[in-house]
Structure 1
Amino acid sequence: MLPPERLPASGHGRRGPASGSGQAGRRGQPGFPAPPGCGKGPDGRRIAGGILQIDDNRREQRVLAWSIGITTILAAIGIACGLFANSSSILFDGLYSLIDAAMTALALGVSVLLSRGSSRHFQFGFWHLEPMLVLLNSVVLALSCGYAFLGALNDLFRAGRGTDFGPGLLYVVGAGLAEFSLWLAMRRQARRLGSDLIALDARAWLISGLLSIGLGLSFGLGLALHGTEWAGLIPYLDPAILAVMALLLLPVPLAACWRAGKDILEIAPSDLDERVRAIAQGIAERHGFHDFTSYVAKTGRARFVDITFLAGPELGSRPLGYFDGIRGEIAAALEARPPSHWLNIEFTSERRWL
């Protein structure tokens, strides 16, 4: 087995001096098995898995930049059409898109920082910025939905709003087709690159598309009611559909807030915790370790894993390669790939270090 890559310590384990004859391995140094043909270039970056990670970050940045441009154009058209048709719902759709463009620009900045890896002051990288941005984005969108709902109620209580439904219907049909197409494209890219930032942008496109569907239905109904006995309801259609859509969309950013909050608080994801425990249990049984402890955390797309094995005297003296081999087993089982995975695999003969 080739020697493991050495990366900075994740900081998610217990720190203490190495103690006991059974203490093997470099405490705090996460190990990854180097794939065949994998090495490091002059800049110290991995030239196999690392290049793949760098390429993914560059693709993510291109996708986000492309999304910002389209969102800004649609936002400008929406705001202009909303003012022309005197439609508060279209105006909200345009402002919602403008806010989303600003949030996506911040996401692009975070993506650039993530591609740089760690720095002198941020030695564990910039992974923590990803859930913080998701939380900020979600809070802003949730507040936007709340403001739209209150504005719609205000219009309803003031005898509605006179809206020109013809231009509005043309806008929402065209915008809806564009938004759902972009949602599908962004969702595919998010799954391909494993990017929470692009996934967040995809959800925003989905929300915009759903808004357009609601607006299209209300505007079509408004045109159909002209000249009928129900024409008196027409002024109430625009604020009513805006109120309904705001309430229906509100759970989407609130759910994203909850997920981002769990990452920021480093609440251990149950699926990763169970997987790590199962892998560690198998290692302990195969290699005769008496016990183990494991700790996991998730921050954005980064995964932190710390496992400490308790060895008995029967294990005897083993070469470092033996323990590196165990690290390699665990890394392979977790499909861990730097820099988004941090592993601390430690060994001790004293229970106090568990």
Structure 2
Amino acid sequence: MQTEQGILRLSIAVTFLMAVLGAVIGLIAGSSAIMFDGVYGLIDAVMTGLALMVARLIAASNAADAMGQSYSKRFTMGFWHLEPIVLGVNGMLLTGAALYAMLDATRIILGGGHAPSLGAVLIYTGISLIIDLGMAFYVRRANRSIGSEFVAMDARSWGMTAALSGSLFASFVIGHAIDGGRWAWMTPYIDPVALLIICIVIIPVPIASVRKALSEILLVTPYDLRVQVEDVADRIDAAHGFLGHRAFVARVGRGIQIELNFIVPRHWPARRLEEWDALRDEIGQALGHDSPDLWLTIVFTTDPEWVH
């Protein structure tokens, strides 16, 4: 269970079981908040399944590249681009579910609220809180050595789910405490108000994932990576007497794409191809990205038109 795929498989299994249980308990107990918890979990389970499929494709493609083979003739540039797509779709679905639940909670509040079966939802939210906290801790700790964006997303999802379960548990404890007393008139509003507050709190999290995914899909150049590549290229220009360069940089999921075009002075003495390859190795080492997820292209030319 210390691999990306192993962690995601475990997460899918636990998420699916808890989501089905939450949907059933929410339906039986008449709790909109618990129903939302179940639906939120089902969406997360499906998207984590897609993330697992993409992780397998990327791993298989990298393994084939390491052996000098092509994994797919239709995706010769790899499958890194699928990672931000899955992250973006996941964020949009979770945002849509939260917005719908928020509107539904508002409708219930304006309609006078409703009182769910507090005993059943207390037991469910208590068990759910323990499981969610345990999974959030375990997945986050496992990802320290894995370093996967998918696993990091899954850890954040478990953290959000734990916050959701904790808030629901606290709300229903309060509802159970005031039931039958002078504040009993508030009981019908506990469930929809808790749902409304939770939706408002968690909506920014998937929106941030969508924003990050869009920046990668649109190939927005990361500032820190651009600064690093430009620094290396400037040092190579100065050390080898090149007239200049042009750098193209992007981060797509776990993949890093770098293209460096150097302008060589005209009428330089001819060099053997092995010398140019050695220079490419020097540049690659200076960049410090010795990873199967790096797509590095280095070009040397005397024609400035080729660098634009």
- TM more than 0.5: yes
1:288–1:315 CA contact under 8 A, matched in 2: no
Equivalent-residue separation in structure 2 for 1:260 and 1:222 (angstroms): 40
- 2:32 maps to 88
Q: What letter matches 2:193 in structure 1? A: A
Equivalent in 245, 262, 270 of residue 309 of structure 1? 262
* Cα deviation digits, residues 247-288 of structure 1 (max 9, x gap): 111111111000000111111111111110001111111111
Give yes or no for the alignment of 1:110 onto 2:54: yes
Give yes or no for the alignment of 1:237 onto 2:237: no
Equivalent-residue separation in structure 2 for 1:77 and 1:97 (angstroms): 10
Structure-to-structure mapping, 1:166-177, within 5 angstroms: 166-177=119-130
When the two structures are aligned, how many residues end up with a matched partner? Answer: 298
Q: What letter matches 2:236 in structure 1? A: I
Shift of 1:115: 2.0
Equivalent-residue separation in structure 1 for 2:144 and 2:280 (angstroms): 28
Give yes or no for the alignment of 1:75 onto 2:19: yes
* Cα deviation digits, residues 64-83 of structure 1 (max 9, x gap): 11111111111122122222
Shift of 1:323: 2.1
Q: What letter matches 1:127 in structure 2? A: W
Q: Secondary structure at the match of 1:82?
A: helix
Equivalent-residue separation in structure 2 for 1:334 and 1:191 (angstroms): 23
Equivalent-residue separation in structure 1 for 2:225 and 2:16 (angstroms): 38
Shift of 1:106: 1.2
Equivalent in 61, 79, 84 of residue 5 of structure 2? 61
Equivalent in 80, 87, 91 of residue 127 of structure 1? 80
Structure-to-structure mapping, 1:215-234, within 5 angstroms: 215-234=168-187
Q: Secondary structure at the match of 1:120?
A: coil
Q: Secondary structure at the match of 1:115?
A: helix
Shift of 1:164: 2.0
Q: What letter matches 1:317 in structure 2? A: A
What RMSD, in angstroms, separates the aligned Cα atoms of the two structures?
A: 1.8
Shift of 1:315: 4.8
Give the TM-score normalised by the residue count of structure 1. 0.80
Equivalent-residue separation in structure 2 for 1:239 and 1:287 (angstroms): 68
Shift of 1:221: 0.9
- 1:285 maps to 238
Equivalent-residue separation in structure 1 for 2:138 and 2:231 (angstroms): 36
**Aligned-residue identity in percent:** 37
Give yes or no for the alignment of 1:249 onto 2:209: no
Long gaps (5+) in structure 2: 62-70
* Cα deviation digits, residues 91-149 of structure 1 (max 9, x gap): 11111111111111111111222122141011101111111111111111000001110
Equivalent-residue separation in structure 1 for 2:117 and 2:210 (angstroms): 36
